[in-house]
Structure 1
Amino acid sequence: MSVPFLYRAWVGASMLLVPFAAMIETRKLRDAGFSAMRAHEKIGHATEPREDGGPLIWFHAASVGESLSVLALITRMGLKLPKAQFLITSGTATSAKLLSERMPPRTVHQFAPFDSPGPLKRFLKHWRPNAAIFVESELWPQMLRRTHDSDAKLALVNARLSERSMAGWRKRPRLARYLLDSFSLILTQNDTMAEAMVAMHAPAARVARGINLKSMAGPLPLDDDALFEARAALGHRPVWIASSTHAGEEEAVLAAHKELLKTHPDLCLILAPRHPERGRDVMNLIAGAGLSFTRRTRGDMPGAQVFLADTMGELGLWYALGDIVFLGGSLRPIGGHNPFEVAQSGATVLSGTHVTNFAETYAAMEAAGAARLVADGADLAARVGHLLDDDTARAKACTAAQAFVAGQTDMLDSIAERLINALELAP
């Protein structure tokens, strides 16, 4: 297959851009507490050895959700391939920190190299992957083609592209065909995406529906000592959680909480914004609503009408404190967030109606009684109030959420087996 002009153009442009990107990324990682040596992983300098004796399987994911979504798959493949080593790469400091707490056996993490000749040559020369598995929408042109040309087998799992991305690829059919031909197997999240990938010139025989791997990520980690302290601080107070909220959503959540306080005066809201750096803005919203609050970044525990959980990596702790969770990114047209983490914690899921990123998941969860979509803040208040008042309904919804997640895990073995066969990794 001939090399498209757009690919050649990107190769040249990337060589010019790397010095500037490296400077910016190094500063960001240093600010996040990583050493300069680790920052240099971005330009292909490995900081871990490649173990010999078995195949090396490389997983590449963009950020936190995508990275965590493949951990259970790595674990399952590791059981089937006891001599295999695993490498997982991601692009953000947050994903690196969270992965370090949950790394499967025989797995190391590195920051992903830039999509440019020098970094990728160094990276591939050191790691020599036998297979590479890319997650969701990670279609970096040189990363795909250079890995393919190194004789590694490639797969794309959990494939999901936005309509905007797909429209862009459809305008570049030669480039799309050139890149998608790199994959031996493409597993999509749903049938609609499978059809879209074929329409983008992916080889139809290599495209199939898989499962949403975010349902397989496993429960979020939590600190038992902090959980004990938080429960002691709450006592017997009822709790509900609003997590992953975005700008423009906290107002509706706080209005719902004020309404709920009229009938549940000791109710505590744990409010965890999607981006903790917005903590001060959210704090001002809470104060402006006339509600008392404590704040995690001050070292506080729940103890007022609202607890502002403005830290990273502690959602598992907050989910363990209550069994009613509203997921943000859904009252506004953002696309929604991962409901599986909530269900795995044993809680029932509430969400706004803007859930395009997880449309099929929410439809199935609603049908199973594991989730409920709400129209606005008033609807949210009514639904939370109903669950607080009806112990039987709340217990039934939580049980349904756990059963829904348990039903998904049965499919993971078949996905692992399919990847092993397609990537020619069978012992």
Structure 2
Amino acid sequence: MSRIWRAAATLAAPLLRWNLQRRVRRGKEEAGRLPEREGFGAARPEGRLLWLHAASVGETLAILPLLDALVARDPALNLLVTTGTLTSAQLLPQRLSPELAARVIHRYVPLDVPAWIDRFLEGWRPDAVCLVESELWPNLLGACAARGIPMALLNARISAQSFRRWRNFGPRLIRQLLGRFAMIVPRSAEDAARLMALGAPRLAPVGDLKLAAAPLPADPAKLAELRAAIGRRPVLFAASTHPGEDAIILAAARQLAPRFPQLLTIIAPRHPDRGAEIAAMAQAPRRGEGALPGPGAAYIADTIGELGLFYRLASMAVIGGSLVRHGGQNPLEAARLGCPVILGPNMQNFTDTTAALLATGGALQLPDAAALAGAVSDMLSHPERAAGLVAGASRVVSAATDLPGRMAVALLGLLSGRTAG
């Protein structure tokens, strides 16, 4: 299977180049940085280098406390962070402190073509590799193993669908891939059970970095400006919505309007390039065009890296991806900022987190999308219920404060073993 994958990826290289150009035209890649996708652009600094790969926005945000913990314990350590999406690449520098920015280098991850991976590794020569969640690329893992580079998999996640696919079609390959890691930290007990069933030989205790993330930041001047524009209006915030959800949110807002005529509905699409479409649907101003909330009933927050502003302004937040069959976005970002959380029925991406929030009374989960208007009405009419959600959620988000430090110590141990060897 490894040889077949290697040959197929090599033959697919021209098609992958074409697709990258296509993604540039769709605004999903940076034209000037496409060579990084083929492993070009190495600029290795002197000293030890730890490579961390976080595929998208959620994984990038999750590793920020880990980056801080690593540099706090080894100020001379260099960190190469790769991501796979334009949004995560734009967000990362916004989230780094000046001290951390001096130690972090960003590149786009090369695609899993053998020659491109080899070029990347020969240029950067990382002393250890840390992958986040489910980035199990056979050529990348094989090339690292051939070079004797120790590897860790943090927040290791195997969905039910991926588990069935690996078990039915690639049991030997997944066993081989998992066996290449010196350390695997499952995200949840459910993920640990699936990893063990697939043949993972070494599992560390469960630990979810997303539980330990710092609160999302907010620019004070922008926050004050938005507060002044909104005034005392109650705010229903739909965070990181996916196609199909915006219409559900707006329909609920129309149902609520006779009873709560001052209600402002703010929609932040998961992908800001949908902002114009949603604004037309809602007949609302867009933050992406520089507008502030007006007297109308809706506002579109189609920018990157500003969720922290709107969670601070919201009376409650509906977590995107949960009203449609996407599986939900991270509800802890709202919970850390004291924003009451409403979940749709589809939270498969955060099963354990959702269970923990529900067990402490830290979130309200709807049986279906049709129940949204009633739930919002109930919380606006009974503020004590919203306060109860905030109190329950605070018990969940404070439970993993020492996790980044423990993971940092383990990763530095891998680096030391590499140096000693």
Per the TM superposition, whether the score is higher than 0.5 is yes
Deviations 1:44-98 (A, max 9, x none): 1125x22213x21111122111222111112112212222111111111111101
CA RMSD of aligned residues (A): 2.3
Distance 1:261 1:425, change over 3 A: farther
Count of residue pairs the alignment pairs up: 413
Paired residues for 1:186-265 under 5 Å = 186-203=184-201, 206-265=202-261
Displacement, 1:36? Answer: 4.9
> Partners of 1:20 and 1:237 in 2: how far apart?
51
Q: Which residue in the other structure is 1:390 paired with?
A: 382
**Which of 287, 298, 317 does residue 296 from structure 1 map onto?**
287
**Which of 133, 137, 141 does residue 140 from structure 1 map onto?**
137
What is the identity, as a one-letter code, of the residue corresponding to 1:43?
Answer: E
Displacement, 1:423? Answer: 5.3
Q: Which residue in the other structure is 1:3 paired with?
A: none
Distance 1:256 1:377, change over 3 A: farther
The answer to whether 1:162 aligns with 2:159 is yes
Q: Which moved more, 1:402-411 or 1:259-268?
A: 402-411
Q: Is the 8 A contact 1:420 1:426 kept in 2?
A: no
Q: Which moved more, 1:354-363 or 1:240-249?
A: 240-249
What is the identity, as a one-letter code, of the residue corresponding to 1:326?
Answer: V
Displacement, 1:125? Answer: 1.2
> Partners of 2:185 and 2:416 in 1: how far apart?
16
Deviations 1:221-261 (A, max 9, x none): 33333222211111111112012222332233222212322
Displacement, 1:135? Answer: 0.9
**Which of 41, 45, 51 does residue 51 from structure 1 map onto?**
45
Paired residues for 1:11-26 under 5 Å = 11-26=6-21
Q: Which residue in the other structure is 2:72 paired with?
A: 79
The answer to whether 1:129 aligns with 2:120 is no
Paired residues for 1:110-125 under 5 Å = 110-125=107-122
What is the identity, as a one-letter code, of the residue corresponding to 1:251?
Answer: A
**Which of 282, 285, 288 does residue 286 from structure 1 map onto?**
282
Q: Which residue in the other structure is 2:54 paired with?
A: 61
> Partners of 1:162 and 1:33 in 2: how far apart?
25
What is the identity, as a one-letter code, of the residue corresponding to 1:305?
Answer: A
Q: Is the 8 A contact 2:141 2:180 kept in 1?
A: yes
> Partners of 1:224 and 1:26 in 2: how far apart?
39
Q: Is the 8 A contact 2:311 2:317 kept in 1?
A: yes
> Partners of 1:379 and 1:117 in 2: how far apart?
50
Displacement, 1:29? Answer: 4.6
| Corresponding residue SS for 1:155 | strand
Q: Is the 8 A contact 1:221 1:316 kept in 2?
A: yes
**Which of 69, 86, 89 does residue 82 from structure 2 map onto?**
89
Distance 1:163 1:372, change over 3 A: same
Displacement, 1:296? Answer: 2.1
TM-score (norm 2): 0.91
Displacement, 1:347? Answer: 0.8
> Partners of 1:29 and 1:109 in 2: how far apart?
19
> Unaligned stretches of 5+ in structure 1?
1-5, 288-292
> Partners of 2:340 and 2:23 in 1: how far apart?
37
The answer to whether 1:173 aligns with 2:171 is yes
Q: Is the 8 A contact 1:335 1:356 kept in 2?
A: yes
Deviations 1:254-289 (A, max 9, x none): 2221232222211111112223333343234325xx
The answer to whether 1:330 aligns with 2:327 is no
TM-score (norm 1): 0.90
Deviations 1:160-201 (A, max 9, x none): 122222222222222122211110111111112112112112
Displacement, 1:30? Answer: 7.7
Displacement, 1:297? Answer: 2.9
> Partners of 1:31 and 1:167 in 2: how far apart?
33
Q: Which residue in the other structure is 2:95 paired with?
A: 102
> Partners of 1:411 and 1:44 in 2: how far apart?
32
> Partners of 2:418 and 2:401 in 1: how far apart?
22
Q: Which residue in the other structure is 1:153 paired with?
A: 150
What is the identity, as a one-letter code, of the residue corresponding to 1:97?
Answer: Q
> Partners of 1:262 and 1:33 in 2: how far apart?
41
What is the identity, as a one-letter code, of the residue corresponding to 1:142?
Answer: N
Q: Is the 8 A contact 2:159 2:191 kept in 1?
A: no
**Which of 307, 331, 351 does residue 315 from structure 1 map onto?**
307
What is the identity, as a one-letter code, of the residue corresponding to 2:39?
Answer: G
> Partners of 2:369 and 2:253 in 1: how far apart?
9
Distance 1:324 1:12, change over 3 A: same
Q: Which residue in the other structure is 2:394 paired with?
A: 402
> Partners of 1:145 and 1:313 in 2: how far apart?
35
Distance 1:249 1:151, change over 3 A: same
> Partners of 1:416 and 1:342 in 2: how far apart?
26
What is the identity, as a one-letter code, of the residue corresponding to 1:255?
Answer: A
The sequence identity of aligned pairs, in percent, is 40
Displacement, 1:212? Answer: 2.0
